[in-house]
A and B are shown apart, each in its own frame.
Chain A
C-alpha cells in the first residue's frame, strides 16, 4: 500500500528532499509551538517532562512532539497524495484536498489532546476557547486550502495554455517545412531537372532557380510567420510554374492578382499547401489534367480567397466530412489551426464540392494590414 502510494505520488528522487523539508519545518515550528503552548497552558511540564531537564529544553521537546505529530497527521497524507490530487480536475481536486486537510486537522486535534494528557497529566476539556481555537483552525485550513488550490490551479492552467500555443506554433512550422519538402515533390523536381540538364540546360537552370526560391521562402517563414498576400501569391505562382515543368499542359491555372488586398497579412505558407493539395488530389489524378483557379475577393472588413480545382469524378464523390477534411497532420487542419492562432474566431476555412468535378476551398480572413515586418524571401 505504502509502496503503491509512493509510486503514484513521487519519484525516488523526490522522497528524501520532501522528508528533509518536512523535518526542517518541524524543527523550526516546534520551539515556536512549544513556547505558545507553554504560555497557553500556564503551568510547568509534568509529570513526564519534569526536572532535571532545564525549562527551555522541555519547552522545545514538547513543541517538537507537537509539530512532529502535526506533520505526521496532516502533512504526510498531503505529501503522498498531492501528485494524484493535482492530476484530478480542478473541482474534484479541491474537494479532496479540503477533505484531506480537514480530516487530518481533526485527527491532529485528537492527537494533541492525547499528547497534552500524556505531558501534563490533565484531561483537556474542550472548554469554550479551545472549541473556538479548533473552529478557527478548521476555518483557516479550509481558506488556505481553497486559496492554495485555486492559485495552484490557475498557475497550471496558464502554463498549460502557454505550452499548447508554443506546441501548435512549432508543429505548424515543422509541418510547413515538411509539406514544402514533400518527398514526392522534391524528388520529382530533381528528376525533371536531371532530365533537362543535357537536353535543355537553360530550362534546367530556370527550374533550379525556382526550386531555390521555394526553399528560401520556406526556410525564412519560421522567422517571419506573417507575410503579405502579395508575397504569398508570388510564391504560389513560383510553385505552380515549377509543377508546370512536370505536368506541362495537364496543369492549367489562373491566379487573381492580389489587387486591393495586396497588403493583407496572413500566415506564411497558407495558400501554397492548398494549391499543392489541388494538384495532388485533383489534377494529377485526371488523365488529361485540369484547372486550378485562385480568386481573391476583397471587402472592407474581410478578404475571401477561393481555391477552385478540378478532380477526377471517377474517384467517386470527395469525402467532405469535417473529421476527414480536418484530420490531424493534414494541410487543412494545420492551416485552420494557424488561422485560429493568428485571428481567433474571425477567420474561417471551408471545403466543398462545386459542380460535378470541382472542389472549392474558401478562406475568409479579417482585414489585417500592418507596418513593416521582415518578409520571407526579401
Chain B
C-alpha cells in the first residue's frame, strides 16, 4: 500500500511517517508540505491513500479533495474541527486526531487494507457529499493546470468557464487557463460559490454578470464583466432570472 503524507508542519509529517513505518505492507510514497504540492504528488505518484492535514496554507485539505477528479482513499488529519469530525463520522470517512496515536494509525491502515486492491469503487461520491457539508460556501481556491504547472484561482476571480472543442477553459480578468476537467466536474467543485450553468458548455460567475438581454426565440444573452457575451439556453433562462431575482 503506497501512502502520501501531507501536512505543512514537518514534525507532524514525521510522527505519521514513524507510525506508518510499523506496518510491513505500507510504503510512504512521498510527502507534501502544502495543498499544491499534494496535488502535484498525487498526480505524479498515484498513491493508494493520502493522509491529508486539513489546515494548510494555499489549498486546505478539503480544497485539495475538491480539486481532485478521482481522489484516492483519504484519511483526514486534524487538530480540532468539531464540525468536520461530525461529518466524517456521519459518512464513515477515516480521520486522525492530533496528537496522532500509533494504534489509531494502525486501525486506519487495517481499514484501508479491506478497501484497497479489492476492486472497490473509489470513494468519489462519499467525498463529494462530504465536501458539500463541510464547505457549504464552496472552496476558497481551486487548482487549475497551466501548462505543466498548477495555478490556484480564487472562485471570485473566475468570470466564466467554457468548453470549446473538447477543451475546457477557465477565464479570469487576466488569464485563461485550460483545465483537464469537464464543465460538470467544475460546477460540482464550485458548488456554493455563486456559479450558474447557462447552457451545456458555459458556467458563469453570477458576480460577474453585467447585463442580461433577450435574444432570439426565447433565449437570452449575458454580458460578462470582461465584455464576453454568452448564450443562455431557453430552459436555463428562467432559472437564471430567478437566481438574479429578476
Binding site for B on A (CB under 8 A): 183-184, 187-188, 190-196, 198-199, 245-248, 250, 284-287, 312, 314-316
Chain B residue with Cβ nearest A198 = B18
Contacts of B18 in A (CB 8 A): 195, 198-199
Which of the 9-residue segments B9-17, B122-130, B205-213, B230-238 touches chain A? Answer: B9-17
B85-143 residues with Cβ-Cβ distance < 8 A to A are 97-100, 140-141
- Chain B 65-103 per-residue mask, 1 if CB under 8 angstroms from chain A, else 0: 000000000000001100000000000000001111000
**What separation, in Å, do the CA atoms of A193 and B9 have in the docked complex?**
12
Closest 4 CB pairs of A and B: A195-B15, A183-B80, A191-B98, A187-B79
Whether, in the assembled complex, B55 has its beta carbon less than 8 Å from a beta carbon of chain A, the answer is yes
Bound Cα distance A285, B35 (Å): 11
Which residues of the other chain, B, contact A192 by a CB distance below 8 angstroms?
A: 9, 11-12
For A284, what are the chain B residues with a Cβ–Cβ distance below 8 Å?
8, 55, 57
Given contacts A187-B98, A195-B15, A314-B152, contact A248 B10 (CB under 8 A): yes
Identify which of B11, B34, B100 gathers the most chain A CB atoms within 10 Å of its CB: B11
A315 cross-chain contacts in B, Cβ below 8 A: 140, 154
In the complex, are the beta carbons of A191 and B36 less than 8 A apart?
Answer: no
A185 (CB) vs chain B CBs: closest residue: B79
Residue among B97, B99, B141 with the highest chain A CB neighbour number at 10 A: B99
Q: Interface size on B (CB < 8 Å)? A: 24
Known contacts A285-B57, A314-B141, A316-B154: A191-B12 contact under CB 8 Å:
yes
- Chain A, Cβ-Cβ closest to B156: A316
A231–B141 Cα gap in the complex (Å)?
41
B191 interface residue, CB < 8 Å from A? no
In the assembled complex, the CB of A205 is this many whole angstroms from the nearest CB of chain B, namely 15
Query: With A and B bound together, what is the CA distance between A183 and B99 in angstroms?
Result: 12
Q: CA A24 – CA B10 in complex, angstroms? A: 80
CA distance A316 to B140 in the complex (A): 10
Bound-complex Cα distance A250 to B56 (A) = 12
A293 to B9, CA, bound (A): 22
B14 contacts which of A188, A195, A247 (Cβ < 8 Å)?
A: A195
B58 lies within 8 A of chain A by Cβ: yes
B99 in contact with A312 (CB, 8 Å): no
- Taking a contact as CB atoms under 8 Å apart, the answer to whether A195 and B11 are in contact is yes
Main secondary structure of the interface of B (DSSP, over half): loop
Residues of B within 8 Å of A188, CB to CB, are 9, 12, 79, 98
Known: A184-B79, A285-B57, A312-B57. A190 touches B36 (CB 8 A): no
Give B residues with C-beta under 8 Å from A.
8-12, 14-15, 18, 34, 36, 55, 57-58, 79-80, 97-100, 140-141, 152, 154, 156
Contacts of A196 in B (CB 8 A): 11
Q: By the criterion CB–CB under 8 Å, are B57 and A194 in contact?
A: no
Q: Chain A residues with Cβ under 8 A from B156's Cβ? A: 316
Docked Cα-Cα span, A260 to B99, in Å, equals 42
**Can you name 17 A-B pairs with beta carbons within 8 Å?**
A183-B80, A184-B55, A184-B79, A184-B80, A187-B79, A187-B80, A187-B99, A188-B9, A190-B98, A191-B9, A191-B99, A191-B100, A192-B12, A194-B99, A195-B12, A248-B9, A315-B154
Q: Which B residues touch A286, using CB under 8 A?
A: 57
- Bound together, the chains give a CA A23 to CA B168 distance in angstroms of 89
Given A246-B11, A315-B140: A191 and B57 interface contact (C-beta under 8 Å): no
CB contacts (< 8 Å) of B11 on chain A: these are 191-192, 195-196, 245-246
Residues in A whose Cβ lies below 8 Å from that of B15: 191, 194-195
The interface residues of chain A lying within 8 Å CB-to-CB of B79 are: 183-184, 187-188, 191
Q: Closest CB-CB distance, A191 to chain B, in whole Å?
A: 4
Given A191-B12, A194-B100, A248-B9, 14 new contacts (CB under 8 A): A183-B79, A187-B99, A188-B12, A191-B15, A191-B100, A194-B15, A195-B18, A246-B12, A250-B8, A284-B8, A285-B58, A286-B57, A287-B57, A314-B154
Nearest CB of A to B150, in Å: 12
CA distance A247 to B156 in the complex (A): 29
Residue of B nearest to A280 (CB): B55
Bound Cα distance from A199 to B15, whole angstroms: 9
Cβ–Cβ < 8 Å partners of A250 in chain B: 8
The minimal Cβ–Cβ distance linking B158 to chain A, given in whole angstroms, is: 13
- B20 → chain A closest CB, angstroms: 13
A183 vs chain B, min Cβ distance (A):
4
Please report the C-alpha to C-alpha distance between residue A58 and residue B98 in the assembled complex, in whole angstroms: 88
CB distance from A8 to the nearest CB of B (A): 41
